[in-house]
Amino acid sequence: MEYIKYRFYQKASKCSAEFQRLKKEHADVVLGQVTLGQVLTGMKGIPLLVTDTSKLDPEEGIRFKGYSIPELQQKLPKINPEGEPLPEGLFYLMLIGEIPSQEDALNLSIDWATRAHVPQHVFDVIDALPKTSKPMTQFSAAILSMATESIFQKAYRAGVNKKFYWDATYEDVMNLIARLPRIAAYIYRRQFHNSDHIEPNPRLDWAGNLAHMMGFNSEDIRRLFRLYMIIHADHEGGNVSAHTAHLVGSALSNPYYAYAAAMTGLAGPLHGFANQDVIFWIFEMIEALGTDAPTDEQVSDYCKRTLEEGRVIPGYGHAVLRKTDPRFTAQEEFANKYIKNDPLVNLVNQLYRVVPPILGSVGKIKNPWPNVDAYSGSLLYHYGIKEYTFYTVMFGVSRALGVLASLVNDRIYGMPIERPTSHPLSWFKEQAEGKGSDC
């Protein structure tokens, strides 16, 4: 057993024993009340999931195994001291719960490079789709087509003991993460660069290799890709993509099935598609105002018109957060450090000044502050990735780190199939008002 896998097993097996003990000894402990409002507004705030990789606090923002994003930027291994952390290091942290050494992160990078071969039939599936297919459609189909390679699926059919489900799941997860940059870059080059594909460079790190295969080889953009993959990697377990991977995985569907399902959720406008919505809306504003350097008053008027039309200002607000998203702040600091006087970046900064007071004046809006999507597109666009329909694929590559680390935990904990109880609307009306309805 290679040493990263062994370290995971050592740590996780102790947590698994704790999971089983709590389930056995404290199953009747009441965690809180569930209100009708919570049920009817998307189960917000109901403690339902065990997710060890990260936790989202409404006031503090996301923490990965207890570490904030600024702490990760300081503590995780880097290729050079002035750069951004390696996503390999974050995956190690989420999986094992310890800050890795430089050697640990680089060994993980080498391991993924050795696993990165994508079967030919996956490219055939992508090529069989019309080039008019959205990048996320191609991405999801490619992931699903790789289920033919599932080690877990083969082990399950061979009758492996359920206490070893985690082992085969780990192998699938490592193979899947390793192959994602190749698949994403293939889709990008196929759709936007006349299928002029670029072979992987196994000497590069995971994020740097994605940039290389997409056709971008400057150290600046590799630095951005590492940051992008860090900040999008996980957002606790209740968001659509993470919850979907957990839910589908709870049926013992193999990791390829679970992750493909998660990506179809990420593709939704209320989730990962939002980064595309932000850029689209900003370019609509530029066209409507006739300038990419509008005044604050022009921006304010346009934002107010957007709200009056019954639309939202994309990139602002969050279901849980009640402050500026730390992931937004990390990107803002990156731009301040490396990008000078870019019109699109300037406009994003201008929106940060103008939008919150407008939204704050609308009483029903609980969070007028920007989220991660408000900034990410402008940075990618600045470095030449102007095909914003592809941005959600990049989000998806990153999100694999968190949701798939969680899936391995699910298997070693022996988590059962997820099956909440449901009732018709009339039942809820009867609970609230003492009488049912015809609905």
At 230-269, the pLDDT tens digits run 999 999 999 999 999 999 999 999 999 999 999 999 999 8
Of the residues 104, 325, 373, 410, only one is catalytic, namely 373
Q: What is the pLDDT of residues 308-325, one digit of tens each?
A: 999 989 999 877 777 889
- The yes-or-no answer on residue 212 being catalytic is no
List the Cα angle 366/371/375 in 5-degree steps: 145
**Statement: residue 270 has pLDDT above 90:** no
Q: Which residues of 218-247 are buried (b: 16+ CB within 10 A; e: fewer)?
A: eeebbbbbbbbbbbbbbbbbbbbbbbbbbb
pLDDT of res. 226: 98
- The yes-or-no answer on residue 373 being catalytic is yes
Q: In this structure, what DSSP letter does residue 270 have? A: T
Q: What is the pLDDT of residues 2-29, one digit of tens each?
A: 889 999 999 899 999 998 999 999 999 9
pLDDT of res. 125: 98
pLDDT of res. 32: 87
Among the listed ranges 29-38, 71-80, 223-232, 314-323, which one has the minimum average pLDDT value? Answer: 314-323
% of the chain with per-residue pLDDT over 70: 99
Residue 385 burial (CB < 10 Å; 0-12/13-18/19+)? buried
Mean pLDDT of 193-203: 96
What mean pLDDT, rounded, does the chain reach? 93
- Residue from 57, 64, 56 nearest 94 by CA: 64
Half-sphere exposure of 239 (CA within 13 A, CB side): 28
- The yes-or-no answer on residue 410 being catalytic is no
Q: What is the DSSP string of 46-114?
A: -------SEEEETTTEEEETTEEHHHHHHHS-BSSTTSPBPHHHHHHHHHHSSPPPHHHHHHHHHHHHH
Of the residues 318, 325, 382, 410, only one is catalytic, namely 318
Q: Mention the CATH class of domain 113-270+388-413.
A: mainly alpha
**Statement: residue 147 has pLDDT above 80:** yes
Of the residues 271, 277, 325, 382, only one is catalytic, namely 271
Specify the CATH superfamily of domain 273-383.
Answer: Cytochrome P450-Terp, domain 2 (1.10.230.10)
For the chain, the structural domain boundaries read 113-270+388-413, 273-383
**Statement: residue 437 has pLDDT above 80:** no
Q: What is the pLDDT of residues 281-296, one digit of tens each?
A: 999 999 999 999 999 9
Alpha-carbon gap, residue 117 to 114, rounded angstroms = 8
Predicted TM-score (pTM) of this structure? 0.94
What residues are paired with 56 via a beta bridge? 62
Q: Which residues contact 162 (CB under 8 A, 6 or more apart)?
A: 414
Q: What is the DSSP string of 286-309?
A: HHHHT-SS--HHHHHHHHHHHHHT
237: helix, strand or coil: coil
How far is CA 277 from each of CA 71, 270, 274, 280, rounded to the nearest angstrom? 30, 10, 5, 5
| Token pair listed for 303 | 């934002």
Judge contact between 137 and 187, C-beta under 8 A.
Answer: no
